[in-house]
């Protein structure tokens, strides 16, 4: 996470299209990491108060294409359906050598190239990006240069870690694991709390125990070098209470089978959405 190109040295101007949850998190990460606000333009029809406040720092809001000059990097953080409707308006911001970084789910490189042109990097972040703890998977089109790939890497790393892949087909499975994955973890917290209530705990206490257990265990996993399986084994005494629960969770039709089916369903849906 720390070997990224310093953002202060990145070629500008950078145009961010869509400053919603994810685009806004990226912009905050860039500015916190030294990107010069005057080098950033934001295209956003309904800017939040936070985004409006950045204008006083020098960020430009809704410039016309003629005002931005030759754009080095265009970051597209629109909803995919918005892109289909409004993407053509972005074409004016991108020249043939503009790096176009898209974080839109289920939108293939070819579709982005068709609308925006440029040299496209397709990326899939996830929601812990909002606290700088996301993981993003990125894939570059063949016309993306080495230096452009470094720029994309640095911009994406502002919200967490980045993994690069060569095969765009893997993006559907990536979406199913890390893109949608935070929802599975939140569901785990919900169901652990519900099970606690079923076991006799007051709802408020069950919710707090489940929440802190999921959050604390996630942090432990994050800080540890050990695989998740080792951490699990470390807290499972033979014949103990944890072993009794894991006998259910790891039994036939247990979590492994359930998770495999869930990820396969999300992968299939991602493929369908890309059509």
Ligand X SMILES: NC(=O)c1ccc[n+]([C@@H]2O[C@H](COP(=O)([O-])OP(=O)(O)OC[C@H]3O[C@@H](n4cnc5c(N)ncnc54)[C@H](OP(=O)(O)O)[C@@H]3O)[C@@H](O)[C@H]2O)c1
Decide: is 23 part of the binding site for ligand X (CB under 6 A). Answer: yes
Report which secondary-structure segment, H or E, holds 61.
strand 60-61
Taking contact as CB under 6 A, which single stretch among the options 71-79, 158-166, 217-225, 267-275 is the one that binds ligand X? 71-79
What CA dihedral angle connects 171, 175, 178 and 179, to 10 degrees? 130
Give the whole-angstrom CA distance, residue 79 versus residue 143: 25
Least gap, CB of 82 to ligand X (angstroms): 4
Decide: is 78 part of the binding site for ligand X (CB under 6 A). Answer: yes
When the beta carbons of 164 and 246 are compared against ligand X, the nearer one is 164
Query: What binding mask, one character per residue, do residues 27-66 give for ligand X by CB under 6 A, x or -?
Result: ----------------xxxx--------------------
Least gap, CB of 140 to ligand X (angstroms): 17
When the beta carbons of 170 and 197 are compared against ligand X, the nearer one is 170
Residue ranges in 92-131 that form contacts with ligand X under rule CB under 6 A:
103-105, 124-127
b/e for 36-49, b at 16 or more Cβ within 10 A? beebbbbbbeebee
Least gap, CB of 155 to ligand X (angstroms): 14
With DSSP H G I counted as helix, E B as strand and the rest as coil, what are the percentages for the chain, rounded to 5? 55, 15, 30
60-61 β-sheet, strand order: 60-61, 40-43, 14-17, 73-76, 99-102, 119-124, 134-140, 160-164
Q: Tell me which residues touch ligand X (CB under 6 A).
A: 17-23, 43-46, 77-80, 82, 86, 103-105, 124-127, 179
């Amino acid at each position: 996470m720390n070997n990224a190109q310093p953002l202060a040295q990145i070629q500008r101007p950078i145009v961010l299209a869509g400053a919603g949850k994810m685009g806004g998190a990226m912009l905050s990460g860039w500015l916190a990491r030294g990107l010069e606000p005057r080098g950033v333009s934001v295209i956003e029809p309904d800017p939040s108060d936070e985004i409006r406040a950045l204008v006083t720092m020098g960020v430009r809001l809704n410039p016309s294409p003629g005002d931005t000059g030759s754009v080095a990097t265009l970051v597209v953080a629109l909803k995919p359906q918005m892109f289909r409707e409004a993407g053509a308006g972005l074409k004016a911001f991108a020249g043939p050598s503009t790096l176009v970084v898209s974080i839109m789910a289920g939108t293939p490189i070819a579709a982005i190239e068709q609308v925006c042109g440029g040299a496209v990097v397709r990326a899939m972040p996830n929601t812990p990006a909002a606290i700088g703890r996301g993981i993003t998977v990125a894939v570059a089109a063949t016309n993306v240069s080495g230096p452009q790939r470094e720029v994309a890497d640095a911009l994406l790393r502002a919200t967490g870690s980045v993994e690069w892949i060569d095969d765009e087909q893997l993006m559907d499975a990536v979406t199913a694991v890390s893109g949608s994955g935070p929802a599975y973890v939140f569901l785990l917290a919900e169901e652990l709390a519900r099970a606690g209530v079923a076991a006799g705990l007051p709802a408020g206490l069950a919710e707090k125990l489940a929440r802190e257990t999921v959050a604390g265990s996630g942090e432990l996993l994050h800080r540890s070098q050990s695989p998740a399986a080792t951490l699990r084994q470390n807290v499972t005494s033979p014949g103990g209470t944890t072993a009794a629960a894991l006998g259910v969770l790891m039994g036939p039709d247990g979590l492994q089978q359930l998770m495999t089916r869930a990820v396969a369903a999300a992968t299939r849906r991602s493929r369908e959405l890309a059509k």
